[in-house]
């Protein structure tokens, strides 16, 4: 079961705060959609976490690819930042339940 988020940076930009990311409004919207799925069709918190998580092995593979092919690094970085931000946004209402 994948419940942890990958947290390794591609470069220094992935360490930016959630509020400074352009992805934040979109990640917030996606997280709200996922949060609304809780309890429907048997969706539990862990199954939603698995749905939106980036496995550590996948994050490491993507980072390695981005280092080898820098022309693709920006897109990979944005996707990883989005996933991290979405996870943070999803956890806020989950933890306050």
Q: How does pLDDT run across 16-44, given as a tens digit for each residue? A: 444 444 667 889 999 999 888 888 878 88
For residue 14, is it within any domain? no
- Structure tokens belonging to residue 48: 């939603």
Q: Quote the pLDDT of residue 22.
A: 60
Determine the structural domain holding residue 59 and report its residue range: 23-95
Is residue 17 included in any domain, yes or no? no
Residue 60 resides in a domain: yes
pLDDT at 41: 79
- Which of the two residues, 90 and 17, has the higher pLDDT score? 90
Half-sphere exposure (Cβ direction) of 58: Cα atoms closer than 13 Å: 13
Query: Between vectors from CA 31 to CA 12 and to CA 17, what angle results, nearest 5°?
Result: 25
Question: Residue 84 falls within a domain, yes or no?
Answer: yes
Task: Please report which confidence band the pLDDT of residue 4 belongs to, taking 50, 70 and 90 as the band edges.
Answer: very low
User: Residue 13 is encoded by which pair of tokens?
Assistant: 């930009």
Q: How confident is the model over 41-63, as pLDDT tens digits?
A: 788 898 888 888 899 999 999 99
d(CA 81, CA 87) in angstroms, rounded, equals: 10
What is the number of domains present in the chain? 1
- Note the pTM of the prediction, 2 decimals: 0.68
Strands (E) in 54-96, as ranges, are none
What pLDDT, on a 0 to 100 scale, did the predictor assign at position 56?
Answer: 92
User: What is the spatial distance between Cα 62 and Cα 80, in angstroms, rounded to a whole number?
Assistant: 9
């Amino acid at each position: 079961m994948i419940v942890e988020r990958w947290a390794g940076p591609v470069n220094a930009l992935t360490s930016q705060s959630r509020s400074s990311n352009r992805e934040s409004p979109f990640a917030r919207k996606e997280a709200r959609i996922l949060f609304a799925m809780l309890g429907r069709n048997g969706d539990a918190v862990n199954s939603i976490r698995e749905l939106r998580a980036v496995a550590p092995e996948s994050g490491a593979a993507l980072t390695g690819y981005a280092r080898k092919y820098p022309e693709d690094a920006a897109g990979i970085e944005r996707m990883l930042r989005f996933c991290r931000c979405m996870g943070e946004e999803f956890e806020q209402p989950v933890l306050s339940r």
